[in-house]
Amino acid sequence: MTKAALPQELIRAKRDGHALDRAAISELVAGISDGRLSDAQVGALAMAVFLQGMNADETVALTEAIRDSGEVLDWSGLDLPGPVLDKHSTGGVGDLVSLVLGPWIAACGGHVPMVSGRGLGHTGGTLDKLEAIPGYSVSPDTATFRRLVREVGVAIIGQTADLAPADRRLYAVRDVTATVESLPLIVSSILGKKLACGLEGLVMDVKVGSGAFMPTLDAARELATTIAEVASRAGTRTTALITDMNQPLAPRAGNALEVHEAIRLLSGEKRHGRLLEVTRSLAAELLVAGRLVDSREAALVKLDATLASGAAAERFARMVAGLGGPHDLLERPAAHLPEAPVVRAVYAERPGGVQAIDTRALGLTVVALGGGRRTPGAAIDSAVGLSRIASLGEVVDGDRPLALVHAASVDDADMAGRRLRDAMRVGDEHVSLPPLTHDVIRREVP
């Protein structure tokens, strides 16, 4: 296909199973971005890709075209003393890794311009968590964003209108045309936005399990491998980890509650748990990808030292203050983060060990409480959610509840209690715990 071909002819070619060359894909993405392609044509293109797929060359070309459809951040003029790094997760429940990993990497010498999203379905969104902090602005001006990345080493904000505009339109059409679940479209959407941030290293956290977008290990491995290969071929050294989401990553789910958990970990109040282990593993891979250390072992030593010294917590505090939040959030979180008026322990109907958790159902319980959006643009109650969530294999009884429900009303707490009991199966059988990290896929830039 040539660049001069009509859009409908390019769509026809993909519909009929032909590979599109780089020029054709660039032309189509430019038409999506500037409006030359109608919504009908964008939908037809998405369906053609959904049905016929794309080969590796096409997926790389689509990713780069989406990346280049708007501003690509250039950090060269800031003379940064360390590499520009970032992470992305496919989402989960109790997954507040970004809140901890960004400041932690900054404390180790990296620079993290993290452009994050809001909650989607049963999964929580990083921006929604941060907006539980009074005054925190997820849409600062460009000068503030760049200054914080340079001086603090980390700034977590929302996507700007200038970053990967083609993806914003393509995703909106995919959402209403049943074409979301397409590997090339998923990969190019994730990476188009991330690589527009001018990254030198990326770590991808692909979740698998009952609370994950990818419920099977084979599907998660295919996505992780494709992301690592496409990002590396597009010029960014990338590692993908497949991590477990058969139970919430942290014992809390809900926006303000998860900010509390991040502060507990960063401040040293908590020094164990799945959240710390997964974050530490992702951060170690990112330090190696950014060549801040020469081995995973050296990365772990550096990470442990910066967490113990308080340097990671200090970066988080400076980021929050620099984006309009309170200067004493780490010292006085209870004075700033909202709390639900009703807090109730929910107990199992019988004592025993937690045999299985429908993690997606737990996430939807938080949404039903008001902690997520049932419709686009709906308001969120930052205070509601779940805490002290019991883990797989943990014994629950009259002293140890399944979880604490944080609700806006007694009726909401009753509803959440019923959902919680349905989502967590309790029995007497031995439980084999799944590994936290199922696989690691590393790719170098060709």
Pick the closest to residue 279 from 437, 434, 117, 90 (CA basis): 437
As a whole number of angstroms, the distance between CA 57 and CA 64 comes to 11
CATH ID of 76-332+437-443, from 2.40.33.10, 3.30.1330.10, 3.40.718.10, 3.40.1030.10: 3.40.1030.10
Q: What is the mean pLDDT of residues 398-417?
A: 97
Q: How far apart are CA 158 and CA 177, in angstroms?
A: 25
CA distance 408 to 20: 53
- Give the pLDDT band (50/70/90) at residue 378: confident
Count CA within 13 A, CB hemisphere, residue 82: 26
- The predicted-structure confidence for 26-56, as pLDDT tens digits, reads as follows 999 999 999 999 999 999 999 999 999 999 9
> CATH class for domain 338-427?
alpha beta
* Contact call for residues 233 and 366 (beta carbons, < 8 A): no
Q: Does 76-332+437-443 match 338-427 in CATH topology?
A: no
Q: Kind of pairing, strands 395-396 and 403-407? A: unpaired
Q: How confident is the model at residue 376 (pLDDT cuts 50, 70, 90)?
A: low
Round to whole Å and give the CA distance between 157 and 146.
11
> What does the pLDDT read at residue 2?
43
pLDDT at 121: 62
Phi, psi of 341 (to 5 degrees): -75, -20
Please list the active-site residues. 86-89, 126, 174, 189, 193-194
Q: What is the pLDDT of residue 4?
A: 59
Q: Are 403 and 250 in contact (CB under 8 A)?
A: no
Contact 180, 174 (CB under 8 A): yes
| pLDDT score recorded for residue 444 | 85
Judge whether 271 and 236 are in contact, CB under 8 Å: no
Q: What is the DSSP letter of 76?
A: G
Position with higher pLDDT, 228 vs 119: 228
- Among 248, 242, 188, which residue's Cα sits nearest to residue 219? 242
pLDDT of residue 336: 97
- Measured in whole angstroms, the distance separating CA 424 from the mean position of its chain's CA atoms is 24
pLDDT tens string 314-369: 999 999 999 999 999 999 999 999 999 999 999 999 999 999 999 999 999 999 99
* Lowest mean pLDDT segment, chosen from 162-166, 200-204, 407-411: 162-166
**Mean predicted confidence (pLDDT) in 237-243:** 96
Alpha-carbon distance of 300 to 281, in angstroms, equals: 8
Handedness of CA 418, 363, 243, 291 (dihedral sign): negative
User: What mean pLDDT is predicted for residues 257-263?
Assistant: 97
Q: In sequence order, what DSSP letters do the residues of 208-260 get, joined into one string?
A: ESTTSSB-SHHHHHHHHHHHHHHHHHTT-EEEEEEEE-SS-SSS-BSHHHHHH
pLDDT at 1: 40
- CA–CA separation, 211 vs 209, rounded Å? 6
Whether residue 313 has pLDDT greater than 60: yes
Q: Where are the domains of the chain?
A: 7-53, 76-332+437-443, 338-427
Average pLDDT value over all residues in the chain: 93
**C-alpha–C-alpha distance, residues 209 and 186, integer Å:** 18
Confidence (pLDDT) at 405: 98
Q: What is the pLDDT of residue 120?
A: 63
Partners of residue 424 on adjacent β-strands: 357
- Per the listing, tokens 């990470």 go with 303
CA distances to 86, 108, 137, 377 from 289, rounded to whole Å, are 10, 13, 30, 37
pLDDT of residue 275: 96
At 83-131, the pLDDT tens digits run 999 999 988 899 999 999 999 999 999 999 998 877 666 777 899 999 9
CATH code, residues 7-53: 1.20.970.10
At 81, the amino acid letter reads P
What are 169-215's pLDDT values in tens digits?
A: 998 888 788 888 899 999 999 999 999 999 999 999 999 999 888 88
* pLDDT value at residue 180: 81
